[in-house]
Structures are given as C-alpha cells and as structure tokens.
Amino acid sequence: MVKLRLVFLAIAGPKNEQLYLEVFDSLEKSLLSKYQYLSELSLDVIQDLVQNPERTSNDCFLGLLGVEEDISTYAFCSNTNVKFILAVRSSDFVVRESEIRQLLRRIYTIHTHAVCNPFSLELTPDTLKQSLYFNETLQQLSLDWNNQ
C-alpha cells in the first residue's frame, strides 16, 4: 500500500495549548504520542523563530522547521497566534514548498470558517473536534492532496 504523504496536522492556540491533532493515516494511531512530542518540539522552534527580532519577512508562513527521521514539519503562524504544524513524509517523495504553503493557507481558511461559527463562544480543544465542517473539509483536502 502506498504510504500517505501527510503524516499529521497539529493546531496550537495562543497559549501553546494543543487544540487539534489529527493523524492522517489510520494505521499509525499508535504513534500518537510520538507525534505529540514532535508537535511540541515544533512549537518551541516556532517560538524561537517568531521572537527573533531580526526576522525580516513579515510573512505568516514559517517554512520548514526541521526534519526528524523521515518526517519534515512545516509551520504557519497566523495573526491571532494560532499555529498550524503540518508534517509530511519526505523520504519517498519530493515535496515542494509552494504546495505546502498553499495547503497550509487552505487549512487556515477552513479553520477560520469553523471558528467564526456564531454559536461557538470560546476556542477550546473541543471546538475543532466537534465541528463537522472542519473535519469533513480537512478529510477532503488531505485526500485531494494525497491523490495528486
């Protein structure tokens, strides 16, 4: 079976609490703790990157954060201090940064749509898990991307 390219997606809120962690390959649910560890690592890297006063670009997309084993992580930090961490399997496939940038921007867009739901009051770890719109659209996005 062909391995899926996307490994996991983690979303962290303004206080670095974890809002959402989704593993795309259902066979790898056992590696959840490893991916949580990876996402915490990425959060630290993001914090370093963002607080660096010599950062010239004002862009939201933070680029490649690091490579561990065969997984490379990319991050996107929005204006509302919500961070998106996407991990892709980079050993078998060549990954272009522009694709990741586009994908992360789409994920940010659907996250905003889900959060702007007028019936949701606070941004808790349950908000995104319970949002049907978010889950389904994310599945669709990942399927599309994997089938490219």
Partner 1 sequence: MIVHQQLPMSVNLASFDFLLIEMVHMAKRLSEKQETVVSNDERMEKGYSFLENIGFQVGRKLAERLLLTRNRIVESIDVMRFLCRELWPIVFRKQLDNLKTNRKGTFVITDNYFFWFSKMTAATGTEMKEYTTPYLYFPSGFIRGVMHTFGYPVQVIAQCPNLPTCIFQVRFPQPSNVPTTENAASNQPSESAQSVSQQNTDLSRISGRSLSSTTLGVNNTPSPLNPTNPSHPEETS
Give the interface with partner 1 as residue ranges (CB under 8 A): 14-16, 47, 50-51, 53, 58-60, 77-81, 108-109, 112, 115-116, 118, 121-122
Shortest Å distance, C-beta 64 to partner 1: 18
**Residue (91 or 112) nearer to partner 1, CB:** 112
Shortest Å distance, C-beta 108 to partner 1: 7
**Residue (112 or 140) nearer to partner 1, CB:** 112
Shortest Å distance, C-beta 18 to partner 1: 14
- Look-up: residue for tokens 């490579």? 67
67 beta partners: 72
- Strands 71-77 and 61-68 come out as antiparallel
131: left (phi over 0), alpha (psi -120 to 50) or beta: beta
**Residue (26 or 51) nearer to partner 1, CB:** 51
User: How far is the C-alpha of 10 from the C-alpha of 86, rounded, in Å?
Assistant: 7
77 beta partners: 83
User: How far is the C-alpha of 111 from the C-alpha of 119, rounded, in Å?
Assistant: 15
**Residue (14 or 63) nearer to partner 1, CB:** 14
